[in-house]
Amino acid sequence: MLRSSFPRSISVALGAVALLAAPAWSQCPSKQSCLSTHATTGCDGADCCLTVCTLDPTCCINDWDASCVNIANISCVGYCGAQASGSCYVAHSNPSCDNSICCAAVCGIDPFCCSGNWDFTCVQYAGFACPGTPGTCGVASGSCFEPHAQAACNDVDCCNAVCSIDPSCCSQSWDAICVYAAEQTCVAGCIPFAPANAVTEFEGCDERYNDPCYVTSGGTPEILTPGVSIVGMIGRPPSSLNGADVDVYRIVLPDPDLDGQARIEVSFSSSPLAWVALVSDAACAPVSSSILHLSSNLCVDAVSTPMCIPAGAYRLVVCGGTYPAFGGATTGCLNGNKYTLGVTVTQNCVACSANSGSCYAPHATGGCNTIACCNSVCAADPFCCSAAWDTDCVTLAATTCLTGPPATDTCSGALALTMNGLVVLNTARSGVELAQPTGCGNGVFGRDVWAMYDATWTGTVEAQTCGSWFDTVLAVYTGSCKAPVLLACSDDSVICNGVGASRVGFAVQCGQRYYIRVGPKTGHGGEVTLRLNALEAVACPVCVADFNNTGAVDAQDLAILLNGWGTAATDLNGDANTSAQDLAVLLNAWGLCP
């Protein structure tokens, strides 16, 4: 006969009889949850199952219906998800808590929470491991000083203050940590955080001399230095001075990159309700027409969105109350009336400008110095202009802005180097011209570009890429471009700063040409600076008519002069023309150079 055929009272009576005969229910435990209805008897928690079936034996005789679930919910202390187990966000002496998903998540981290007791450690785990429901400050009904599963709390100012410290309190749950933060923050007289370099406002609380005309008159704005925070105090002192306390600061925004603008970010934190407004440097510019304004209460950190404005002088007006009204903070000269104000100024407002960094080397600011290329790259990846020109931006510039390999891609297009000088080479679209050199450690050229040095020194010199931003390889050759002879090579140098920078020393002789090959081991690379420095070398003797630097003026130099006849190429007397006068100079210098 089906269970539904019996009145509930008869079923209970029959169950009681059965209980006398079988006090240990064989249906406990079964496979189904104690907190969900199912067509079979018993449930998956042994203790909970016995508790429920003791209170209502029919739960172990017939199906586990809603009545059995309700008994389990209010009676099964220590069963995950049962109301009787207690809130997941409050410590208690029994194991488990009233949210089955949260309970399982926490006990997966710390099994003791389901076998011992749900202590404060379990409460802390619940704060970050359990799914919660986002809330809105003031709309949520829970107290800021009691933990609850719903995020946010009922006091708007306190809620905003806590969520500025721990955003999860408004997005996940108002747990014990949020309560602790509220107990520390949502009290009168909190002290706003001040950086180590902060300075104190010159004006005393019972004085009024940095307000030129907003409430008092005749004051002089105090100077505020970018990057240095100031700690001030607002309030109406118990003296003859009337009106709200208004503090005015003057700040000058520099323009070192000469683009006419500066990027500004204002931070403001106040114990009482207060605001700050950035206005022009004109005397008593209306705060209602401010460039930006911020409000703070209970020491909540308010930070403006970085914005670019014309470089030059501005004023910052600070007052208690609600913007733009002058008022509030009437509690006198108390320590709890403090505020902290700071302004951070950076540059790079015009990302694509000639003053920006190279398009083919990463830098911490956005944009690069070739405007057309910069615009193309930033159209594809706005991060490259809004944040930083990183290695991805360099790679994008290489593939977007360069249509082919550079002239220095081949040995015949090598760029001339001078002793103790440097050249900037771009490997971004180059290829590999020669076979890989041997005896160079792990040095393998993924791409290569070329420079050359016609020796005007003799001795030992070095070529190096110290400071490079990508892993480089260097090789030096003598001979000719058609038949180069490897002289020396280098992979990574341990005494050279940079990312896998290279440094190689080699001997040079006057009049000899040397080819220097540089490139990345992998990837596109980009701009790299190649330097040539004298180590133990001396300059070759100067001989004005020795055009081929052989140390002697001879028939070869005469042939060079005659080939340059009528041009400035082989001019020796400084008149920008090769003529008979230059021939006379050469003949007078005939022979070995001094």
Residues 221 and 318 in one domain: yes
pTM: 0.49
Give me the mean pLDDT over the 179-197 stretch: 83
CA 283 distance to own-chain centroid: 38
DSSP state of 214: S
Residue 49 sits in the same domain as residue 179: no
Q: Does the residue 149 lie in any domain?
A: yes
Of the candidates 516, 513, 442, 526, the residue with the CA atom closest to the CA atom of residue 475:
516
Residue 114 lies in a domain: no
Structural domain includes residue 105: no
**Which residue do the tokens 């920008």 mark?**
576
Q: Which residues pair with 320 in a beta bridge?
A: 274
Encoding tokens for residue 279? 């206005």
Q: Which residue has the tokens 């140098």?
A: 493
**Which structure tokens are listed for 94?**
């029994």
Residues 309 and 431 in one domain: no
CA atoms within 13 A on the CB side of 227: 5
Q: What is the pLDDT of residues 33-77, one digit of tens each?
A: 999 999 999 999 999 999 999 999 999 998 999 999 999 999 999
Domain co-membership, 392 together with 419: no
Same domain for 323 and 377, yes or no, is no
- Is 242 within a domain? yes
pLDDT at 330: 55
CA distance 95 to 118: 5
What's the rounded mean pLDDT across residues 78-90?
Answer: 91
pLDDT value at residue 333: 67
Query: What are the structure tokens assigned to 394, written together?
Result: 């360099």
Distance between CA atoms of residues 367 and 308, nearest Å: 15
- Closest CA relative to residue 342, chosen from 197, 226, 196, 193: 226
- Write down the pLDDT at residue 4: 33
- DSSP letter assigned to residue 542: P
Q: How confident is the model at residue 356 (pLDDT cuts 50, 70, 90)?
A: confident
Phi, psi (rounded to 5 degrees) for 80? -60, 120
- Cα 488 to chain center, whole Å? 41
- Specify the range with the lowest mean pLDDT, choosing from 269-273, 477-481, 506-510: 269-273
Burial class (CB in 10 A: 0-12, 13-18, 19+), 451: buried
Same-domain status, 153 and 222 = no
Report the chain's mean pLDDT, rounded to a whole number: 87
CB 170 within 8 A of CB 161: no
Q: Provide the phi-psi class of 81: left if phi over 0, else alpha when psi is between -120 and 50, else beta.
A: left
Q: Give the chain's domain count.
A: 6
CB-based contact 428:506 (threshold 8 Å) = no
* Residues spanned by the domain of 145: 140-186
Q: What is the structure's pLDDT at 164?
A: 80
Tokens linked to 220: 């002089």
Phi then psi for 46, rounded to 5 degrees?
Answer: -60, -50
Kindly indicate the confidence band of residue 377, based on its pLDDT and cuts at 50, 70 and 90.
very high
Same domain? 15 vs 150? no
316 and 370 together in one domain:
no
Question: What's the Rg (C-alpha) of the chain?
Answer: 40
| Rounded-to-10 torsion of CA 378, 384, 390, 394 | 10
Average pLDDT over residues 465-474: 94
Q: What is the CATH number of the domain that holds 457?
A: 2.60.120.380
For residues 343 and 241, the model is more confident at: 343
The answer on 585 and 514 residing in a single domain is no
The reply to whether omega before 324 is within 30° of 0 (cis) is: yes
Regarding whether 416 and 517 lie in a shared domain, the answer is yes
SS3 content of the chain, % helix, strand, coil (to 5): 25, 25, 50
Name which of 32-41, 158-167, 454-463 the model is least confident about.
158-167
Whether residue 165 is found in the same domain as residue 270: no
pLDDT at 237: 55
For 284, phi and psi rounded to 5 degrees?
Answer: 55, 45
Size (the chain), residues:
594
Confidence (pLDDT) at 12 = 38
Closest CA to 194 of 314, 95, 58, 299: 299
Least trusted range by pLDDT, from 42-56, 114-128, 416-430: 114-128
Q: Which of 50, 76, 102 is the last residue of a domain?
A: 76
Spatial contact of 266 and 278, defined as CB atoms under 8 Å apart:
yes
Q: What's the mean pLDDT in 417-429?
A: 94
pLDDT at residue 235 greater than cutoff 80: no
Residues 314/281, Cβ–Cβ less than 8 Å: yes
Question: Is 100 inside any structural domain?
Answer: no
Binning pLDDT at 50, 70 and 90, where does residue 336 land? Answer: low
Judge whether 110 lies within some domain.
no
Nearest Cα neighbor of 278 from 338, 211, 197, 343 is 343
CA distances 303 to 23, 85, 266, 294, 296, Å, are: 67, 43, 6, 7, 10
The answer on pLDDT for 8 being more than 80 is no
Kindly give the pairing relationship between strand 338-346 and strand 484-490.
unpaired
Let me know: does 465 contact 498? Beta carbons within 8 Å.
yes
Verify that 568 and 518 share a domain, yes or no: no
- Please state the rounded mean pLDDT for residues 385-408: 92
Residue 97 lies in a domain: no
pLDDT band at 10 (very low <50, low <70, confident <90, very high): very low
More confident residue, 9 or 390: 390
Look at 297-301, 306-310, 456-460, 467-471 and tell me which has the smallest mean pLDDT: 297-301
Q: What is the pLDDT of residue 387?
A: 85
Three-state secondary structure readout of 103-159? HHHHHHHCCHHHHCCECHHHHHHHHHHCCCECCCCCCCCCCCCCCECECCCCCHHHH
- pLDDT score, position 525: 93
**Residue 260 forms part of a structural domain:** yes
CA nearest 440: which of 407, 414, 416, 473?
Answer: 473
Strand ranges for 46-107 from DSSP E: none
What is the pLDDT at residue 9? 39
Give the type of residue at 240.
S
